[in-house]
Amino acid sequence: MSILFGVLGALGAALIAAFTYSYQRTLDRKFEVIQERRQLYVDYVKEVSPSIYRRVLVDSDIHHDRLKRLNEIGSAMQIIAPQSVCDAHHEFLNYLREQTSRADPATQEHSNFFDDEAGSLFDMVLFEMRKDALPPELHDGNMKK
């Protein structure tokens, strides 16, 4: 009888260990994805910040490289970010493309590239990123769209 209890105890311990391991792996993967998203979001902000409320030469290599990098980050977001972040990014990027087409044809300069509309769209991207990347208890109580 004691052998039966020993076997049942060992089986029970093995089942608990398997469940605990599986659960911990799931939590670890969720944490990894959140970390990947946060890094992507930080990279995104670093790409956008140099253009905020500045004059932009839309035919410059710097401008084209920045848009290319935003496209690359946006592609990565399609894989791991929620749809709300991707939608806000697309709306913002489409507006930046429109702004590029509105540059002065003679100088290829846009003195108001990152205007109030771009600022509002960028704020929406940031709002969705914060909503995704921060735990609810860290959300600002006044966080609004």
Residue-range domain boundaries for the chain? 32-138
**More confidently predicted of 77 and 113:** 77
Q: Is the pLDDT of residue 82 over 90?
A: yes
Indicate the length of the chain as a whole number: 145
Confidence of residue 19 (pLDDT cuts 50, 70, 90): confident
| Nearest-angstrom CA–CA distance, 36 and 127 | 18
Q: Is the pLDDT of residue 141 over 70?
A: no
Residue 139: predicted pLDDT: 67
Residue pair 114/67 in contact (Cβ under 8 Å)? The answer is no
| Nearest-angstrom CA–CA distance, 99 and 129 | 23
Which tokens sit at 74? 């946006």
Residue with tokens 């959140």: 34
Instruction: For 143, list phi and psi in degrees, rounded to 5.
Output: -65, 115
Confidence of residue 47 (pLDDT cuts 50, 70, 90): confident
Residue 125: predicted pLDDT: 94
The CA–CA distances, whole Å, from 65 to 48, 69, 129 equal: 11, 6, 23
Highest-scoring range by mean pLDDT, 26-40, 74-88, 97-111, 130-144 = 74-88
Residue 10: predicted pLDDT: 76
Residue 59: predicted pLDDT: 81
Residue 140: predicted pLDDT: 62
Please provide the average confidence, as pLDDT, over all residues in the chain. 83
Q: Up-side HSE of residue 115: CA atoms within 13 Å toward CB?
A: 12
Which tokens sit at 40? 């992507």
